[in-house]
Amino acid sequence: MNHKEILTQALERCGINQAQLAEKLNVSKSTISTTMRRDHIGLDVFVKYMNAMGFEVYAGEKIGGMFQAEWDLVPGNDDKRAFRAKKE
């Protein structure tokens, strides 16, 4: 999954839209929309968006300076939302 698919799925799971996420982040809806259309976004932005929706973000194994993992939304512990790298 890429960040676009993950963010879209996270919005759906939370039952909110881009405008509501923008309000939580104190940014414009166009900022959210632009970010979600980009081919690449910074990890800091991704984590910020996911945290605003109540998700925790866990990274996968670090190999050669980069995180190598397939990302997916998964159930968290204690009914918390979680997003982590799936081990292959």
pTM above 0.85, yes or no: no
Q: Does the pLDDT at position 1 exceed 80? A: no
67 pLDDT above the threshold of 90:
no
- In angstroms, the CA 57 to CA 60 distance is 10
**Mind listing the pLDDT tens digit for each residue in 4-19?**
888 998 898 889 999 9
Give the 3-state DSSP-derived string for the chain, with helices as H, strands as E and coil as C.
CCHHHHHHHHHHHHCCCHHHHHHHHCCCHHHHHHHHHCCCCCHHHHHHHHHHCCEEEECCEEECCEEECEEEEEECHHHCEEEEEECC
Domains and their CATH numbers in the chain: 3-86 (1.10.260)
**Beta-carbon count within 10 A of 49 CB:** 24
Place of tokens 């996968």: 60
Each residue of 25-65: pLDDT tens digit? 999 999 999 999 988 888 888 889 988 988 877 665 554 55
pLDDT at position 30: 96
Q: Answer whether 11's CB lies under 8 Å from 53's CB.
A: yes
